[in-house]
Structure 1
Amino acid sequence: MQEPANINATTVQPAPTATVYGMPAYADRAAAVGEVHARPHLLIQAPRGILQLAFMTEGDQARDQMAMSELSHRFGVAEPDHATPLHGMTWDEGDLHCEKHTEFSTYLWCASLDSETGEPCGENPFKHGFVPPGPVVSGIRLRLLPWTPETEKEADRFDPASLCYSLVENGSAAILTDFRQDEDGLTQILVLARDLTPARAGALAQRLLEIETYRTLALLSLPLTRSMTSELRRMESRLAAITDEMCTSLVERRDSDVLLSELTGLAAELEAGVAANLYRFGASRAYYEIVEERLAALSEEAVSG
């Protein structure tokens, strides 16, 4: 005799299927269409200060999780979702945004500027026990100020020998930097703005931060290139010597097997060097292309003198 069904048993219901206009949606559609909103621009107004640090993390997300957890506890805010590549936190006197990339992470602190000292208001999140997720590869201090005759005098803070002074946003803003580092090791960028909406000001600041960050990352291959130059010259000299020896008479020529062995050894050295440094040079090329794109988006107009 069949046992009666248990009316109290829990029936597992299938997960609701997403739809588009009443039709089933592709499984990854939500992630694809949501990507455009995954990295919104800052919304800022002058006077505002931004401090951004880029740390080499080599993709170790546990380092970022530890740093963000410490900051969350210190400022008394909820921990962000560590599974997302971009997250942030906001407190009374500022906000902080963390963006994770393949080999580095950026931490951006944004706060109002004190009218008397010109320094960011509130507690600096990178002080008082902050544990960096890795060594710093880029550090930027950006100030957004209203464009007035008084703030134009801030240009005197920069080295005139390397000053870069440009107009952007159809003349509604000016950007100044000398690409030199201050006493804290930070590259200083000044933005003077008038009639810029918070969205346009935030987008401009984001482009400038990316240009400096990716410019630095693109140049990481420069020391490697210099170190490889002497090694390549040694290999070229040895190859020339072997080639010259192969062109001599049979009496003076060494055993062909020995020459072939030396050629094979040189080829193996070259191949190993290429394989060991392929990622670094590929990354530099990609970073350089990003810099070029951001510079084109600025549509700069150089200020003479």
Structure 2
Amino acid sequence: MRDDGRAILTPPARGIAHILPRDHPQRLVLNDEVHARPSEILEAPLKLSYLAVFAEGEQRADVWRRVQELAGRYGVDPAPDTANHYSANFGPFRIKCERHTEFLRLVFIVEDGRQPESFEEPALQAVPPEWLAALPGQLITAANVLLQHSDGDWPEPERIATQFFDGNALVGASIADGAAFAFTDFRIRADGFSRLLVMDHGMTPRQAGRTVQRLLEIDTYRILALLALPMAHVLAPFLAARERELAEVTRLLVEAKAPDEALLFDRLTRLEAEMESEQSRNHYRFSASVAYEALVDSRITELREERLAGLQTFREFLERRFLPAMETCRSSAASQESLSQRLTRVTQLLSTRVDITREAQTQDVLASMDRRAKLQLRLQETVEGLSIAAITYYIVGLVGYLAKGGSRAGLPIEVDLVMAASIPFVLVLTALALRHHRRKAARES
């Protein structure tokens, strides 16, 4: 209340925005990131075909343009160029497309109301074949999915394996806290597709969409993580050879003399260049492999699996088959990093030895220069002594000429006596004059 008894009116909340601090430029983008690429709403029964296409740079844009062209063919609004997610109903099928850093996911869904009883007529048959044939990129994962209504009975793995998976050994579990069952054999068939059977035992449509997406992501991220495995296999002999060469250089370094250091340094710098080149080539792939492995583990955890008698769960199967391969990748990356660090240490050690050798050589040069300077000083002192004698000789000669001139003029001068008497004075004065000039030159320098 105001002092005059009237109430103070509070402005409505929607009118407060204009008085708040201005938004950070990335606020809305970062907030909407949690809503990016939402899972599809799926309701059994339906058929689904899934493609993960490895594409980078211009190829990613080409795939997106192909999806836009397909939308135009069916009279549907195409996806914006800047979008990373697109979902639409084309009539005969629904499509969902997502763009990721290295790949794109394409999902084709057919809902005809019939319970699918086999994989013989996949959802991808509804998509124009010429459009599929022109799709750019490289296939990472291709899977056909059947989402069935569960009849309420406990699933029979043997019957499911015979009916849907050619009798192969199955991997399966009760998932989503018992709301569904999932089965696969992780095999690629002659048509290029793997198979996934999901039996809906009480999932909501959104839950079904999330569950199918997780199962497909497990397969996709598993393959993307394993892209580092061939690189690890190629890297192993390369690292073994460089290990041997580094050991040889280290052994030679123990007994090396100064003339050998340049050759050893050349070998080490060549090894370092080779290691740096190899690391720059595969560092991203190994780092990405670790990230994709973490995503696989996360998606398996989100399945909330429960064991079915006689079957391996998804986690058990991948821990036995997938994790050893990932350990190989991690081991190769660690070995590469360790070798690079050891190579750096040995190079630093040799550099230190070279520096010490150079310092010793510098000391020898300075000592030699010092000896030459002392020799020059002695020579200079000798020359100065000779110069004093020579100057004294010439000055005394001048004094003699002066005395001779005086004697001829009639002065009582004994020339030889005058010359002999002048020698000490001239010698001392000449020495003092040279000493004065030398000191003056030293002060000026």
Aligned pair partner of 1:44 in 38, 42, 45? 42
SS at match of 1:170: coil
Instruction: Compute the displacement of 1:200 (Å).
Output: 0.8
Aligned pair partner of 1:142 in 141, 145, 148? 145
Instruction: Compute the displacement of 1:136 (Å).
Output: 0.8
- The change in CA–CA distance for 1:228 and 1:162 in structure 2 (over 3 A counts) is farther
SS at match of 1:93: coil
SS at match of 1:212: helix
Aligned pair partner of 2:240 in 228, 233, 237? 233
For normalisation by structure 1, the TM-score amounts to 0.84
Aligned pair partner of 1:195 in 175, 183, 202? 202
**How big is each residue's C-alpha offset from its partner over 1:151-186, in whole Å with a ceiling of 9 and x where there is no partner?**
753332337664211111111211111111122211
Instruction: Compute the displacement of 1:121 (Å).
Output: 6.0
Say what the alpha-carbon RMSD is for the aligned residues. 2.6
Aligned residue runs from structure 1 range 62-101, under 5 A: 62-101=61-100
Question: Is the CA contact (8 Å cut-off) linking 2:93 and 2:126 kept in structure 1?
Answer: no
- The change in CA–CA distance for 1:110 and 1:254 in structure 2 (over 3 A counts) is farther
For normalisation by structure 2, the TM-score amounts to 0.59
> Which residue matches 2:102?
103
Whole-angstrom distance in 2 between the partners of 1:168 and 1:90? 28
Letter paired with 1:37: H
**How big is each residue's C-alpha offset from its partner over 1:224-246, in whole Å with a ceiling of 9 and x where there is no partner?**
11111111111111112222223
Question: Is the CA contact (8 Å cut-off) linking 2:175 and 2:305 kept in structure 1?
Answer: yes
> Runs in 1 of length 4+ with deviation above 6 angstroms?
none
> Which residue matches 1:129?
131
Greater RCO structure (CA 8 Å; 6+ sep):
1
Whole-angstrom distance in 2 between the partners of 1:249 and 1:197? 75
**How big is each residue's C-alpha offset from its partner over 1:123-159, in whole Å with a ceiling of 9 and x where there is no partner?**
5326233321311111121211112359753332337
- The change in CA–CA distance for 1:49 and 1:267 in structure 2 (over 3 A counts) is same
Whole-angstrom distance in 2 between the partners of 1:72 and 1:29? 31
Aligned residue runs from structure 1 range 54-69, under 5 A: 54-60=52-58, 61-69=60-68
> Which residue matches 2:19?
23
Aligned pair partner of 1:155 in 161, 177, 180? 161
- The change in CA–CA distance for 1:161 and 1:94 in structure 2 (over 3 A counts) is closer
**How big is each residue's C-alpha offset from its partner over 1:245-285, in whole Å with a ceiling of 9 and x where there is no partner?**
233476xx972211111112112211111111111111111
Instruction: Compute the displacement of 1:94 (Å).
Output: 2.0
> Which residue matches 1:172?
179
Aligned pair partner of 2:285 in 270, 280, 288? 280
* Percent of pairs with identical residues: 32
> Which residue matches 1:270?
275
- The change in CA–CA distance for 1:172 and 1:263 in structure 2 (over 3 A counts) is same
| Long gaps (5+) in structure 2 | 1-13, 311-445
Question: Is the CA contact (8 Å cut-off) linking 2:170 and 2:185 kept in structure 1?
Answer: yes
Q: Identify the structure with the greater helix proportion.
A: 2
Aligned pair partner of 2:301 in 278, 293, 296? 296
Greater Rg, structure 1 or structure 2? 2
Question: Is the CA contact (8 Å cut-off) linking 2:68 and 2:78 kept in structure 1?
Answer: yes
**How big is each residue's C-alpha offset from its partner over 1:86-133, in whole Å with a ceiling of 9 and x where there is no partner?**
112212232111111112111111112654764356853262333213
